A and B are shown apart, each in its own frame.
Chain A
Amino acid sequence: MRNLALGIVLGLAGPSVAQAQSAQGDLAVTIYNNDLALIQDTRTLNLAAGRSRVEFPDVSAQIRPETVTLSATGAGIVEQNFDYDLLSPDKLMDKAVGQTVTVVRVNPATGAETRETAQVLANNGGTIVRIGDRIEVLGNYGARVVFPSLPPNLRANPTLSVTLNTTSGGSRPVTLNYLSRGFGWKADYVALFDEQAGKIDVQGWITLTNNSGTTFRNAKTLLVAGAVGQANGSNYGSMQQQTRGPSGNRPGTERSDRERLGDFYVYPIAGRTTIANAQQKQVSFLDVAGVPAAKGYFFRNDWLGRQDDPISCDTVLRFSASREGGLGDALPAGIIRVYMRDARGQPQFIGENGIDHTPMGSTLAVKTGEAFDVKVQPTVEKRERINTDEWEQSSRYRVTERGKTSEVIIDRTKTYWRTSMSYKITNARPQTVSVEVVQGGLDNWWHDTRVPNESIKGSQRSADERVWMVTVPANGETVLTAQFDTRY
């Protein structure tokens, strides 16, 4: 009967088999982006008057014990202990030195068991016992050893215990606060792009993960969009000249109506939810339709970059997170997955990209993929050395001769390299496209670069980058040429 019943349960492996009783109380879990959660666990405990030791089972297995705080009315903390000396067979044998154990031997032929009482003398790389008046080393698998008791202080799992000094006995709520690792969350966005209408529908999901080893039932859950305690990163990145992606990324300044915690937005999950161990949970937080969006093409060439085969331009999707004409919300960091309907109306995936925490009012330009039909072939047509009529002062010094001081200044002409570039942009699509072409590497710390000729009027995006908006006719090509005079 039991086997049959076991088979039934195995066959289902359903969600509600043998409800385990958890020692957790009323739970509130606040999850941050960076592998961190604050857990508040209010349990009702009956405390005896005077000094008592209380164990807290079912705390997170990845608890940071140094962050534990406990509050209970009429009780003061004497000490907090986190015992992580785990019970294991070799520790059991270690702690049994000097004690009496039972050795059970089995006759291999008959299967008959004989029991003997033995005193453990030592356990140093081998267990030495005294049985009656004999002393022997216990072989690895020669006998079963039965211990009379488990040693104190060794635990099955790491255990948090608090010793309290209580003024009056009785039942009361005890609140335990601690930080735990093993949690995280991010946003996942689903964007359905309608190219003809120039609109996107966006759904935002919060994806939270619990790998803490512990399930938290019926918890009030709050998600904080930010990584706390990581502000000590260096500013090393600002030493590099920035290469930027497609234009159209601008941080916003609008304020979302969402609740805030300091500098961070918080996203509460409605109602109570169970965050199971090894679970990935998604909760919707954003659902907007018909937001204007536009597709564009982007290509950035490195300094002296050249290609023997044309390479695809990036396809860039631009939209706004503003209240007016945008998603109208602050966007927590995550991944935007973009879909488009195919000829039969079925949504197909066309690419994804990550976004950072984005304030409301920002505009975004995200690369979704590379265009099959819009390509660029950059070519270094010519490099030549030119001398200009300009002079630069290279050194200046004074000479004092018999009390007379004269000044010597040495000038020399500036030498430039003139680089002639061509960018052949081809478009095999049946529509005219506009491609944002960027040439980078124009500054190189010299701050002395000129553009004497260009076939299309460009603009200097920064000292390092020049950008052209190139219109390419349907099934056609446009060649952009530009010359750069640089000191290198």
Chain B
Amino acid sequence: MFNSRQVLRRLSTGVACAAIILSTASPAATPVVISPAPDNVAVTIYRAPNRSLGGAMDTDWLEGYALITEKRTIDLPAGPATIRFEGVAGGMLPESSIARGLPAGIREKNLDADLLSPGNLYARSLGRPVIVRRQHAKSGKTTEERGIIRSGPEGSVLLQTREGFEAANCGPLNETLVYSRLPEGLSARPTLSIETEAPSAAKVTISLSYLAWGFDWQANYVVRMREGGKRADLAAWVTLASSDPMSFVDADTAVVGGEVNREDDDPYDGGRAEELSFHCFFTPVSVPALAMAAPSDGIGEIVVTAMKRAELKVDAPVMVTAEGLGDLKLYHVPVRTTVASNAQKQVAMFEKRNIKVAIVYTADVYDGGPANVRLTLRTQNKKEDGLGIALPAGPFAVFEPLRNEQMLIGEGGIRDSAIGQQVEAVIAAPTQVRVQGNDITASEDVKRGRWRDFELSVSNANRWPITFEGDLHVNDDEKVERTSARMIQKNGRPLWKAQVPANSIATLRYRVTQIEAE
């Protein structure tokens, strides 16, 4: 049943890792060159689009992606040949693949996703002999019989045996099908191949790059407040994660900050693995597929390069280097590192000491209040304030010393922040600062204009003074007048900025007037 061609194929694949298989039986067949794995690989990870502010990565469902660039060395025969690439990322988007470095052009690129599955194996064996193995449930006795498949997979399993026609697995016996050979054109996993035509045989190094789903990264910021609350140290980390089944060993790794436009392509589903279900006369009996991929149970390993967060020192041994990439930011890990399958990794991004920060209590006030107060950490992204570095979006954790220990006082997140921009992170809902609002009077005489008077008060129960900022929101046809304190105009709205002394109350009176025609 098996001819010498297959034996030859097996021998030649065993000889070299990038072997050429000469298929001599059919004149149309082109030699197949298998490239089993890349020599080296570069992985550039992009953030998931539309991630929430300060939200953590969902390591079970990473929606970012990566550009993977692989260098592969292959022995190319003269004339037409098919190069099969194995060991590519499982989340590969095949239409994005680019191959460079081939001596001649690429005739075509193919991604074959007709997978070897129970359903496909059955469908392709229609009209062919199989062996029916029958096992008796109690005695465990097994008998084998030859049969021919007579139905398609839609209908389900009907066999012709020596005795006649019967439905498999429909009697008292446990029946399975044993196939004697594989149908053509089914592959174990989706496989990328390239048809090429080289003028002469050569050893070539080609660079294969493609986008793949199932990666993500974020910046993580750790702020350690100094005594007094006016200065802080900021440490930033790059946290990257991969849920791809493939591990990229010793990869040249980088991450890209900024928003990259993506078309809403569905992640490639990796080909359809069809099950084969045995239908009986009465009720269908489903048999689970034999070769199902093991379900991923999330992240199996978390690796922190450099040091653990708590032990961070000023001079982290490895820090990413930053560069501009068009209008994006590229952060490159200077040492080769392994982007492991289902794992997360952290590399230090930068450390800035003694930056100028402000803790501000802020509130949005609608209709005179009351309002929820937010504890906001604010800094200017400027060199003179100790910062002045592009900050990619990510969560913020703020620590404050208490009895010689760093205690977490708040968590928040920032968007992508360019140099020169004000950086603000809402880190907590304070308990000791409250905002109360009262309606005092309203106009009764409609002819002389509609207005309402409000009184807004901020109470500070802390033993230290605070800075409060109340953002007064009014409708487009209203304006704020007769304020009892000087207001700042910010974002087109009046802003009340007040220093509230320890254990005291600050009050603002103002009038909201309907705008009338002059």
Contacts and interface: CB of A to CB of B under 8 A. Distances in A.
Contact of B165 (A142, A148, A205, A385): A148
B160 to A, nearest CB: 8
Contacts of A17: 6, 181-184
Interface stretch (B250-258, B293-301, B500-508): B250-258
A241 interface: no
A262 interface: no
A385 B517 CA distance: 5
A14 B21 contact: yes
Contact of A89 (B69, B279, B330): B279
Contact of B111 (A280, A347, A352): A280
A115 to B, nearest CB: 8
B261 A383 contact: no
Given A144-B172, A276-B112, A428 B165 contact: no
Interface stretch (B147-155, B338-346, B394-402, B441-449): B147-155
Interface in B1-56: 1-2, 6-7, 9-10, 13, 21, 23, 25-26, 28-29, 32, 42, 44, 46
B182 A387 contact: no
A86 B154 contact: yes
B95 interface: yes
A372 B97 CA distance: 27
A428 B114 contact: no
Contacts of A367: 261
Nearest to A384: B515
A308 B471 CA distance: 11
Nearest to B151: A87
Contacts of A312: 258-259, 416
Contacts of A203: 98
Interface in B82-132: 82, 84, 94-98, 105-116, 124, 126-127
A372 B491 contact: no
Given A17-B182, A142-B172, A144-B173, A415 B260 contact: no
A304 B515 CA distance: 17
Given A16-B26, A20-B124, A308-B491, A353 B326 contact: no
A109 B429 CA distance: 73
A385 to B, nearest CB: 5
Interface in B385-426: 390, 392, 415-416, 418-421, 424
DSSP majority for the B interface?
A: loop
A381 interface: yes
A302 interface: no
A207 interface: yes
B246 interface: no
A88 B26 contact: no
Contact of B280 (A89, A111, A148): A89
A86 B151 contact: yes
Interface stretch (B135-143, B223-231, B236-244, B432-440): B135-143
A288 interface: no
A136 to B, nearest CB: 15
B260 A351 contact: yes
B281 interface: yes
B325 interface: yes
A201 to B, nearest CB: 11
Contacts of A304: 476
Interface string A72-85: 00000000000000
Contacts of B2: 5, 8-9
A482 B91 CA distance: 48
Contacts of A354: 263
B420 A428 contact: yes
Interface in A332-377: 335, 337, 340, 342-344, 346-354, 367-375, 377
Contacts of A379: 491-492
B114 A205 contact: no
Interface stretch (B185-193, B312-320, B371-379, B453-461): B185-193
B106 A284 contact: yes
B167 interface: yes
A51 to B, nearest CB: 27
Contacts of B127: 156
A102 B476 contact: no
B110 A279 contact: yes
Nearest to A370: B259
Q: Which of A88, A106, A279, A371 has the most CB of B within 10 A?
A: A88
Contacts of A92: 158, 165, 167, 281
Interface in B291-337: 323-330, 332
B434 to A, nearest CB: 23
Given A17-B6, A19-B184, A340 B326 contact: yes
Contact of B113 (A278, A353, A477): A278
A342 B325 contact: yes
Contacts of B98: 190, 203
Contacts of B465: none
Contacts of B418: 372-375, 426, 428
Interface in B241-292: 254, 256-263, 265, 271-272, 279-283
B358 interface: no
Nearest to B108: A283
Nearest to A421: B492
B180 A6 contact: yes
B209 interface: yes
Contact of B261 (A142, A278, A352): A352
Given A108-B172, A369-B328, A156 B150 contact: yes
Q: Which of B1, B155, B326, B491 has the most CB of A within 10 A?
A: B326
Interface string A305-322: 011111010010000000
A108 B165 contact: no
A11 B516 CA distance: 83
Contacts of A335: 95, 263, 265
Contacts of B60: none
Contact of B390 (A348, A386, A428, A475): A428
Nearest to B268: A280
A217 B445 CA distance: 88
Given A9-B182, A352-B263, A428 B106 contact: no
Contacts of B415: 309
A76 B401 CA distance: 94
A276 B109 CA distance: 12
Contacts of B96: 188, 337
A74 B328 CA distance: 69
A49 interface: no
A92 B150 CA distance: 12
B170 interface: yes
Contacts of B281: 89-90, 92-93, 123, 127, 140, 145
A379 B490 CA distance: 9
A157 B95 contact: no
A145 B158 CA distance: 12
Contacts of B258: 312, 369-372
A306 B490 CA distance: 12
A429 B111 CA distance: 41
B7 to A, nearest CB: 7
Q: Which of B115, B141, B330, B492 has the most CB of A within 10 A?
A: B492
Contacts of A88: 151, 154-156, 158, 279
A350 B67 CA distance: 10
A141 B294 CA distance: 32
B113 to A, nearest CB: 4
Interface in A365-408: 367-375, 377, 379-387
Contacts of B182: 9-10, 13, 17-18
A140 B392 CA distance: 64
4 tightest A-B contacts by CB? A144-B171, A88-B155, A89-B167, A370-B259
Given A5-B6, A312-B258, 12 more contacts: A15-B32, A16-B25, A89-B158, A92-B167, A126-B282, A141-B172, A157-B126, A190-B98, A205-B109, A371-B327, A373-B419, A385-B516
7 contacts: A89-B156, A101-B164, A144-B171, A295-B326, A368-B326, A373-B324, A475-B419
